[in-house]
Structure 1
Amino acid sequence: MPHFTIEYSANLDDKLDIAEVVELVRSTAIETGIFPVGGVRVRAIRCEHYAIADGRPGFAFMAMLLRLGEGRDLAARKRAGDHIFAQLSHYLDPLFGDEGFALSFDMVVNDNETSWKRNSIHDLLIAEARHG
């Protein structure tokens, strides 16, 4: 259940294609090899109202949160997080030279005892792979 939520300041709409960011995160997460393809979810939430630092209108932010289930050791999570953050950071490099940009990425492991899920996507992808 790797679920990525990307919050971003509305002033980024004119500077980048958020759909490309979402796809980059999705494909990069799969590249790590530790997340089941059928479980990856990436969504972006545009923040219309925000205040950053001293309030300059040109400042922008992107804050990504990954929620995932238990079962991956710290070393594997760190390798995956490093890879995803490096790819996203590289893609966003031009923004760091603009009027001020902040990027963050946090990973949270959900407790299996208090996390409920129901998903038919895994079975669909397995069936498609078997039958071409």
Structure 2
Amino acid sequence: MPHLVILYTPNLDQPLDQGGADMRGLCRALADAMLAVRDEQDQQVFPTGGTRVLAYPAAHCAVSDGGAAGEAAGMGGDYAFVYLNLRMGRGRSAAVHQRVGAALHAVVKTRFAEQLARRPIGITVQVDEGHEVFDAKTSSLHPLFPKK
């Protein structure tokens, strides 16, 4: 943990010059942002070996009014949507929650600046802190990253 899951409309898998997005690059940029976040004691918030960013295009979707308002506004009716949900374990401060959310939002705004200017697109960033009722982990990743 943490896990950042991205759900997005499949039209974002188009080439960049057709309004698409570099989802692989977005995932890397978001993971790097998560790993850079520090807490009040200047410690890395998330373990390197436990940080995951996964992106999935929706197999089926319907966004807003289907494009009518975008067409009427001259922006086109090919709406796009990106939902980012970061789930992390309990125990971090409210300041860390805000810091993480702001870091993710900054990456998304930068990475989607061109699309936001050219097409109707909605983006939601949500950070959740879990109340786990069961939490088991098995990993051969963590030993690769000694605690600092």
* Both proteins in one fold, TM over 0.5: yes
**Mapping of residues 1-132 of structure 1, within 5 Å:** 1-14=1-14, 15-32=20-37, 33-56=44-67, 57-126=77-146
Give SS of 2:5's match.
Answer: strand
- 2:40 alignment counterpart: none
Runs of 4+ displaced beyond 6 Å: none
- SS of the residue corresponding to residue 146 of structure 2 reads helix
User: How far did residue 106 of structure 1 move?
Assistant: 0.8
Q: CA deviation at 1:117?
A: 2.3
Query: Residue 66 of structure 2 aligns to a residue in which SS?
Result: coil
Structure 1 letter corresponding to 2:2: P
For 1:48 and 1:97, the matched residues in 2 are separated by 26
> Which SS does the other structure have where 1:107 is aligned?
strand
Quote the offset at 1:100 in angstroms. Answer: 0.3
Following TM superposition, by how much is the alpha carbon of 1:89 offset from its aligned partner in structure 2, in angstroms? 1.2
Aligned-residue offset at 1:112: 4.0
- Flag structure 2 segments of 5+ consecutive residues without an equivalent: 15-19, 38-43, 68-76
Q: Deviations over 1:7-58 (max 9, x none)?
A: 0101111111111111111111111131111110110001131111101250
Identical residues among aligned pairs (%): 27
Consecutive unaligned residues of structure 1, counting only runs of 5 or more, are none
* TM-score between the two structures when normalised by the length of structure 1: 0.88
